Each structure stands twice: as structure tokens, then as C-alpha cells.
Amino acid sequence: MWEVGATDVAVLGVRVYAGGTSVVSPPAIELWRGTLVAVDLLMSGESAAGYAFESVLSNAVLSMLITGYETYCEQRFSEIEREGVPPDMERVVRRCGTRTQREDLRRGRLDAVLAELSGTHSCVSSATAKRINFQDFERCKSAYAAAYGIRFGRDLGVSSQLIARLRRLIQYRHRIIHVSPLLGALNLLEVPPEEPEFSNKRFAEEAKATVARFIDALHARTLELRPPDLVD
């Protein structure tokens, strides 16, 4: 019997480990919702430092959002298989596998590749997910299309403008991490012809809405998938 927290305490993202192995972990969508809670808490902060604080806060929020996006996409990728929907592993290996795995596939040794993956994780999609950079939008898009036939540009009901904006936000996060967390104007490399885009609370709110809209759409689409034996 497990008891977590108290009756007047909210508990998010419960994890239980036994012998160094995870036995209880939150689902991907709960992890994402926890990210949103953390973002809201951070954005409630105040400082006498004025715009400098607002800019750093906004940059931190964007970093959290994109990390949350990556975490959701990686975990959801393998959750779908555990829910009874098998991925098309031949297509996954062809598009996302290592060079050795792709060579084995060309030689007709898919079973050997799957046996190797099954030996390291409880499901083959989990083993594959660990080798995919889901923060790379193209890699993420390719993985979902190959495994589950979900095409980001057609099947999620989101606009091409929203997808383009998400791509840009991922790019901005990369600049924040690898250039400076103090960046005030995030698109200086594109100015001109673009107008400067400043990191502030308004930007952070818009970024939160954009990433949330995409993840909500992707999650809804994954819930529409059905195990083969339930398909008419």
C-alpha cells in the first residue's frame, strides 16, 4: 500500500523507484502539465531589476517550455506502444535508426535489430526513443510519422504558422542556452529584415500558448490511435 502526500497538499509528478528502477512514473501529459505549473509559478516572480529581470525570466520560461515539449514527445512516443498500439518499427529503423541498424535492415535482419532493442528496454519504442533528439523538430516529426503515421503538418489540426512559430521558439531556446541567458533580443541574426523580437513577459505568455496548443493537438491525435485488434 502506497500513500503519497496529505489531504490538503497537491502532489504532482509522483515517482517511485525500487532498486534503482522506476516502478511508478507520471504519464507524459502529466509531466507537461507540471511544466505549465512551474512556468506559472516562475512568471509570478517580481524584482526591482525591471526589464533585465523580465528578460531573464522570459528566457528561463522558454527554456522550460521547450524542455517540457521534448520530454513530452519522447515519453509519449513509447507510451503509445504500451497502450497497445505497436509502432511500425521497420519504418522507424529506416528513418531513425543507427547506421548499423539501417545496414541490418537492408540485409533483411529486422528481427535481429528488434531483438537487440527488446533486450535493453521493455518495449522497442522506448529503446529507440532514447536515441532520438525530440527537440530537433524534424527528427521528432519523422519519428512520429514513421512509427504511428502521425503527420504533424496534416493530422494535428494546427496551422502551418503555429508550427513555424514552434520551430522558431526551439531555435530561440538554443540561442539562450548556447549564447547567453541574458539575451534581450532573440532574433538579432534575422534583423534586418525582421523587426527585433524582445524577450519579456508578453513573449513568454505567447510562447506558452504556442507550445501548449501544439502538445494538446498532438496528444489528442495520439489518443485517437487504436490497437490493431480494435480497428474495424
Among 16-20, 23-27, 111-115, the range scoring the smallest mean pLDDT is 16-20
Nearest to 208 by CA among 40, 44, 46, 45: 40
DSSP state of 27: -
Q: According to the model, what pLDDT value does residue 104 have?
A: 83
pTM, whole model, 2 decimals?
Answer: 0.86
Distance CA 103, CA 99 (A): 6
Residue with the bigger pLDDT between 177 and 23: it is 177
Q: According to the model, what pLDDT value does residue 122 have?
A: 62
Q: According to the model, what pLDDT value does residue 145 have?
A: 97
Contact 224, 80 (CB under 8 A): no
pLDDT band at 12 (very low <50, low <70, confident <90, very high): low
Among 52-61, 74-83, 123-132, 137-146, the range scoring the smallest mean pLDDT is 123-132
| Sign of the four-CA dihedral 224, 228, 229, 232 | positive
What share of the chain has pLDDT > 90, as a percent?
Answer: 68
Q: According to the model, what pLDDT value does residue 39 have?
A: 98
Q: What CA–CA distances, in Å, run from 73 to 20, 101, 125, 135, 197?
A: 24, 23, 12, 9, 27
Instruction: Quick: pLDDT tens for 198-231.
Output: 999 999 999 999 999 999 999 999 999 998 765 5
Instruction: Quick: pLDDT tens for 89-139.
Output: 889 988 888 888 888 888 888 888 778 777 656 677 888 888 899 999 999
Nearest to 214 by CA among 96, 30, 70, 88: 70
pLDDT band at 232 (very low <50, low <70, confident <90, very high): low
Averaged pLDDT of the chain: 87
For 35-53, what is the mean pLDDT?
Answer: 95
Residue with cell 495520439: 222
pLDDT band at 143 (very low <50, low <70, confident <90, very high): very high
